[in-house]
Structure formats: structure tokens, C-alpha cells
Amino acid sequence: MVYGVTLAIEWSANDEEIMGVRIPVRGNEGGDAPLPSFLRSVVTGKYLYVDKNILGLSSARLLVSHGVDVVVLEAVDRVGGRTLTVHPPDDDPSVPKFGWADLGASYVGPSQNHILRLCKELGLGTYLCSDKQDFIHYSKGRQFCYQTTWPNLWWSNPLAYLEVVYMCRLMDNMSKEIPLDKPWKAPRAKEWDKLTVQDFLSRHCWTKDGVEFLLALCSNNNTADGHEMSLLYYLWYMCQGGGLLNLWSVKGGAQERKIMGGSQQVCLKMAEQLAERVHLNQPVVKINYSTKGVCVQTLDGTEFTGTHLILALPPPLQMKIHFDPPLSSHRYGLLQRSPMGLVLKCIIFFNHPFWAEKGYNGLVTCNDDIEVVGLATEDFKPGVQLAGMICFMYGNQALRMANKTEEERKKKVCQTLSNFFKTHAALKPVHYMDKIWSQDTYVGGGYTCYYPPGVLSKYGPAIRESIGGCIFLAGSETALQWTGYMSGAVEAGERAAR
């Protein structure tokens, strides 16, 4: 849901344990690693970052440590991008002390080395998410409990259960054929890019239950409906995250940990270090570029000049900027065909964890169109007594609920949780908050953008292609691993800065 950058200058073969995970670390036997020639060439000029997120802040932080003059331009009055951590106000006794709440990106996993490294550098710890007790899959008004990785559909439809297992393995194997850096070069890229995910499932599945569950899984991962998304893109996304099992898992997977105190701390701590180099409330409206450098103009008429620029915006937002000279036809074609996903994230608090008292973990998947929540999960935080539940609404669910009032959304969510857990305790929350990411002017949606059929095979090379040799594209959308996650942001930034 965010993008960012950590620059890895020179790495040793030695490993270090970071938060329980073995990952490579920077060699420092001879002091600070030297800057590569590309970065040394801009030391005497200004390096501009048009962003609102981890990417620009972390890359700027590293460049500053090597004497580079940088400017970070932020469109709104806060840093963080698609990370947003909320704290209870000290002066309002009516709001319970819930510790903190992440309304944006929050999860980190053991193979997400880039964000784990950055957290360690900033002194931020992580904590484990629970995978104990029973999970729930909710469909057609019925509750199915399971303790396996995949919802056990056996008792409702044995054939559907076998079909889901088979199709997940099939798609994982298909995804391994896709080059991470050039998915449009896959042997069957054109064939797969002509199909939507729903087309593919309809052709290969025998049961309605199997199709519905796999489409719900697609929406949970990508915040878009299966009929909107290219099969090639979905397989590429799976490959970037290590397969469906890794994307879906808690222990050992993408949802294993969270950042203590909230994920927005990553950006806040870096912004504090960069101090006056970060300019808030400076949305960029125009970029002039040539072989001599870059000139950026913001909404209030302020101009910033530099030798190079890293553009760390979601593709749809880049369409709001006037480029002179104009972008290439391939670049514009890509931007015009890269919609953001639709997601509404809410967190609701209760005096006690009624789900745990009934023997449930709190994780619920749902493919029932009547309900407004596609995924629910416990919001456990160490040292915080108040019980929290996170609910996600995707695609059509988010669209239906976005125009409701907050009070209407709260009632709908509570009723849905009551249906999930078969208890009236869900109807008695003590606090509710949510974030409609599609209504955030300078984000436009989440977790990330997706590609409809025909886009990757035709316009894919423009995803990471620099503009004029002086503007470099970054952000989670350009990542080779973990796109849509904080770690993908960091990894993408390393590539852009190099």
C-alpha cells in the first residue's frame, strides 16, 4: 500500500539476524561504503523527490549522509503516503485508549528484507500476529471453521475444496514462468494478457463455490474484482510475493508481523532526520526536463531545480502533472490504463475480544455479496487491553460503502461481524474509525494499481523506463518483489536511485 526506498550501496556475503529473520547486511569493514558513480555525479547538484512516502524519505536520508543536496516535495500536510497511524487524542476522554491504529499499510513478513532492514536502522521493533485458534470462511450465510492455511470447503462441497487446492497449485506453477523484471517476456504472456482472472477461472473450474472463493482471494490480494484484472498481471503479482501460499499466510508469510507503534513511524522518523529538506503542502503540477536537469513547479508557484528527479507517485496521479516535453506515447498509454484498486479499511474496538472467547482467531474470509466485509482480522497490539478488529472492503464492496455516512458504515460492519461470529457482542463497539483511500486526493486508492487485459504485454516496458535520462520512476508499482507492500516500495527505490 506504500512505496519507498532504501539504498544498498555495497553488500557483503555475511548475514545478520533482523527481528528473527536472516538477511544480508551492508559490509562496513572499511567504513562507509562508497557511493556508486551515478550518485557521485549529482553530489554538487540538487536531487529532487516528488513523493509522499517511504521511498523518497529513505533514499533522501541515505544521500544526505553522503553529502548530497536533496529536496523532498510532499503534496499534503503529513508524510507517510499509504501509511497512516492514528493515536487516541489526549484531550478527548470519550475516545478509549486504543494505543495506535494503522489505517494504511501495516504488515511485514520474513522475506521482506528491505523494510525489515529499514526498521532496524530506525530502531523500530515488530511483533507477531496470531495464527492460533479457528479461522472462519463465511459464504451464503454459513460459517465454516478451519485451522489449515486454506479454508476447508470439504464439508460444504468436497469437489470445490479439491478444486481450490488444484487451481492454487496450477496458478503458482504458471507464475513461475514469468520473469520478475519483464513479465511481458513470459512465453505465454500475450495469451494470458488477453484473459481476465475471471475468464481463466471460469474456463478451468467445475464448481461455482470454487470460482467464488478464488475470485474472493483475488480481490483480497489486489483490491479489484477478477473480471477487471489481467491474468498475466495477477500471476506476476503472485510471483513477486512468493506464491499464493506466502501471500495468504500469517506464520512465515506476508502477514506475520506488524511494526510496534504503527507503520507511519517509518516516515515520521526519517522526516525528522531530514528536517528542513522536506517541504509539506507542495503538490507538483509541472515538470520541465532536459539534458541540463529538471525544474519542478508546485501548486503555489514555487520552483525547485535539480540535476535528477525520482518520481514516486502512483501511475494515475502522474497524469495530473504537466510534463514538458510531453511523455512518450508508451508512457501515457500505461498511465491511462493503470487504475488504482478500491479499498476501505476500518478498525473497530470492543471492550473484550468476544471472538477469542468463542474460540476464534478473528480471521474471517468472506465471498458473500450480501455482506460488506471481504476480510476481517484481529488487531492485536502488545500492552493494549482494548480489543480491535480490522475490516477490509474491496472493489464493489468499497464502492457501495464509500458514499455511506461513517455511522452507516459502522452499523453495517458491526452487523457483518455479528453474522460472522454468531454473536450480538459485535453490535456493541466502543470506537470506530475508517479510511476511504479512493477519496484521498493524492493517493487515489490502494493497495496499489493493477493492470487490465492487454496493458502489460503492450505497455509494460514503460513501467520502469526513465524519462529523458533525468527522471527515474519508483514506487511500489515498479517493484520486482512485494509490489503493494512497504518492502516492495523500499526495493523499488533502491533500483531507481541506482
C-alpha pair distances (Å), 109 with each of 101, 252, 265, 458:
19, 7, 17, 33
Say if strands 69-73 and 278-279 run parallel, antiparallel, or are unpaired: parallel
Pair 254, 109: CB distance under 8 Å: yes
Whole-angstrom distance, CA of residue 425 vs CA of residue 360: 14
Q: Among residues 339, 434, 398, 34, which one has the least CA distance to residue 220?
A: 398
Whole-angstrom distance, CA of residue 480 vs CA of residue 496: 12
Query: For the CA atoms of 268, 86, 355, 426, what is the dihedral angle to 10 degrees?
Result: -160
Say if strands 46-50 and 69-73 run parallel, antiparallel, or are unpaired: parallel
Pair 33, 26: CB distance under 8 Å: yes
Whole-angstrom distance, CA of residue 255 vs CA of residue 447: 14
Q: Is 75 annotated as a binding residue?
A: yes
Dihedral sign of CA atoms 455, 459, 460, 463 in order: negative
Cell of 421: 461470529
Whole-angstrom distance, CA of residue 220 vs CA of residue 229: 13
- Kindly report each contact of residues 331-335 with a partner whose C-beta sits within 8 Å and lies 24 or more positions away, as own/partner: 331/462, 331/465, 331/467, 333/458, 333/459, 333/462, 334/455, 334/459, 334/460, 334/462, 334/463
The secondary structure of residue 309, as a DSSP letter, is: E
Q: Which residue type, as a one-letter code, is found at position 33?
A: A
Whole-angstrom distance, CA of residue 424 vs CA of residue 404: 23
Whole-angstrom distance, CA of residue 465 vs CA of residue 471: 9
Q: Is 392 annotated as a binding residue?
A: yes
- The β-bridge partners of 146 are 135
Pair 457, 179: CB distance under 8 Å: no
- 3-class DSSP state for residue 388? strand
Q: Which residues are annotated as a binding site for substrate?
A: 392
Q: Which residues are annotated as a binding site?
A: 74-75, 284, 392, 477
Q: Which residues are annotated as a binding site for FAD?
A: 74-75, 284, 477
